[in-house]
Amino acid sequence: MTTADLGLARPEPDACVVLRAAGVCVVLDIAAGRLPAIVHWGADLGDLTDSDVRALVRASVPPVVSQLPDQPLRLAVLPEHWTGWVGRPGLRGSRHGRDWSPQFRATALRVDGADVVTGLAVTGAGSVQLDAVDDTAGLGLTLTMELLASGLFRSRARLTNLAGDPYQLDDLVLAYPVPQLATEILDLTGRWTKERVPQRRAFTVGTHLRENRKGHTGHDSAYLLHAGAAGFGFGTGEIWSVHTAWSGNHTHYAERMYTGEQVIGGGELLLPGEIVLGPGDRYTSPWLYGSYGIGLDTVARRFHSFLRERPHHPSVERPVTLNVWEAVYFDHDLTKLIALAEAAAAVGVERFVLDDGWFGARRDDHAGLGDWTVSPEVWPNGLHPLIDRVNELGMQFGLWFEPEMINPDSDAARAHPEWIMATGGRRPVESRYQQVINLGIPACYGYIRDAMTALLDEYPIAYVKWDHNRDLIDAGTAPSGRPGVHEQTLAYYRLVDELKAAHPGLEIESCSSGGARVDIEAIQHTDRIWVSDCIDPLERQQMNRWTQQLLPPELLGSHIASGASHTTGRSHTLNFRAATAVFGHLGIEWDLTRASAAELVELGAWVGFYKEYRSLLLGGEMIRIDLPDDTIAAHGVIAPDRSRAVYSFAELGRSPLVMRGRLRFPGLDAERRYWVAPLMLDHAPMVEVPQWWGVEQENSHAHYPSEILPRLRATPDFGVELTGAALAQVGLTHAPTFPETAILYLAEAVDRDPLDDCSGGRIKPSCSHDGQCR
């Protein structure tokens, strides 16, 4: 390839581009053949003329001051060292010490596919692509920037080696400038069984760098890195955020220079020598997503809208799932599992998943990974007897795999020790008695693909729980030991895509010791993520809350566990476990054959509630409520047409205050009137009932089955009717209850009543809950 192939025959671009969508505006300056600089990324500026944009560009140029370069600094999306930028450069690499500081010159600009040379290009949601070259360094660059319909701004870079000798790429990151009013940083961290823990700090001079070298996204991933106005919350404060969409090694960073510039950015983290571009070779970076908004909820909703607009996005009718792991672990017994399946079907479960232990010599976690054939010792007749019974009960069947891992004690490892990822002539330290199998080796990839395909062809498997239970340490490729994380990550995407293409309708969950592979690119290939191996509802209140900063609830595996948590040892009521779990893709992880009759009745009621409200819970707009008391967590889901909403107020601890005052219900239509009342009263916790509930104090602990709620609603005292503005600005008196419990509320517009009487009006006291007039 020559530089002429990248458009050198054309005039250098000298133009500005304005992108506008969903209340967001991006103004790009491509001046005199330079790389794009972001003049504005933030609130929509309305219609801009050519002179407006030129004025904005001029107004953004800093003066030349003492002890700084003699020309104004212009910061590109790919920050360039040659310009005088002494922060993190966008591109690092060399040819044995040469060509390490390229100076790119733009050669072509396209907006929504059309060539642009000069002037102003204005579009809505659209794409900008710029080609550039450095003849001296022998490098070609293509930058792609897109403003999506949801208001997300994303970019990526493709680097091409145009010279005749190899170029070693060490780092390629993109960065977005943010204004100085962004004085605080918030990102996330975590650990196994406690993922997505928020952490906040001041945005000070220097670099806040989050590097991940685990080979997967990680329990402690930054997830999203936010920079915002002091004190920003779920509903307040101007915020800019970035997310690196990559399931391997990656970086997020925020950098503030002593000169006043500040940026947030990220990219793939490359190991030494991992990417060496031969003549004509190319490297494409991951997408760097940017989300702007007022409040963390707006930032999150842009990601939710983007994902929900995909043609392959899962339906909100997500099947209630039972996973057998915490019920049986490795103890697979057909009689026991059939009894569990029958109990699951009886409470309304729609999908039954067989977890680890069904294959090879997998009687515990010491052996068997890599041998993906059904164990004749445990399953002498194969999986058919179990699957047949599951299907007879009206449920789908799902199966656990860990395709990227291998036990040294396995037939696969003994036959192909070179398939184990390693470097330095040694094997990596073991973790969970396993190693990583190298999908970057074509023969190994084909072996895993064919083994999984054989099972998917033989059995009616509707769902795969895809696990990944260790970090990639010393992840090299034999015999050289050269780093292989980049190729392993691409092979993971390719394998998932290939299996799904060959088996239409197959759903795959991204699990990695719980929530260690949760990112936008992983969910582009899969259908849901497993939030955490911890199903303790107290922990899940926090983890679900913050996982939704990126993903909508229908993509979050959210299960009801047994009364005593297997990961924390805490015990909780079924009310708290279920009220927490229904705000996600509901499942159960519990040996129902040991549940009491009363527990099964209550569990069935919660499953019924979930099915009744599933389209709202999984299709509505998430809202998280800022409260001054951190012993209560409040959130809700609001229908897109604002006709109804379900809110949760969960007591996480014991407050020093007896009463919390009035609880607000934001997000509703300010002008409409809503009826608000508690839900699932038959299974509510012990509660001190406020007067607005309309329940007599002496009956405050009585049970009100959900099926008679329509009749209670028809009485003049049950619940309250107010405008959306009053509910949001004033609120309703808190109902005190025990710690680690939750109360759900329904808010329904009075002009939207699915329980009509015979004449089409609202249900009357003389009508029964089934709508039949007596």
Contacts of 312 (CB under 8 A, 6+ apart): none
| Whole-number Cα distances in Å, 70 to 31, 62, 67, 83, 355 | 18, 11, 9, 10, 65
Annotated catalytic residue 333: no
The partner residues of 110 in beta bridges, in order of sequence, read 115, 129
Q: Tokens 């069947």 — which residue?
A: 397
Residue 246 corresponds to which amino acid? W
169, 276 in Cβ contact below 8 A? yes
DSSP character string of 208-251: EEEEE-SSS--TT---SEEEESTT--SSSSEEEEEEEE-SSSEE
**Of 24, 43, 50, nearest in space to 122 by CA:** 50
Q: Give me the catalytic one of 131, 533, 536, 753.
A: 533
The DSSP letter of residue 270 is P
660, 743 in Cβ contact below 8 A? no
Q: Tokens 């509505």 — which residue?
A: 620
From the CB of residue 98, how many other CB atoms can be counted at a distance below 10 Å? 12
In 366-414 the beta strands, taken as DSSP E runs, fall at: 396-401, 405-406
The DSSP letter of residue 610 is H
Annotated catalytic residue 356: no
Cα–Cα dist 171/113, whole Å: 28
- Region of 513 on the Ramachandran plot (φ > 0 left; ψ -120 to 50 alpha; else beta): left
Contacts of 32 (CB under 8 A, 6+ apart): 12, 14
| Whole-number Cα distances in Å, 686 to 14, 272, 691, 740 | 69, 59, 16, 11
Cα–Cα dist 357/751, whole Å: 53
Q: Give me the catalytic one of 467, 519, 527, 753.
A: 467
Catalytic residue IDs: 467, 533
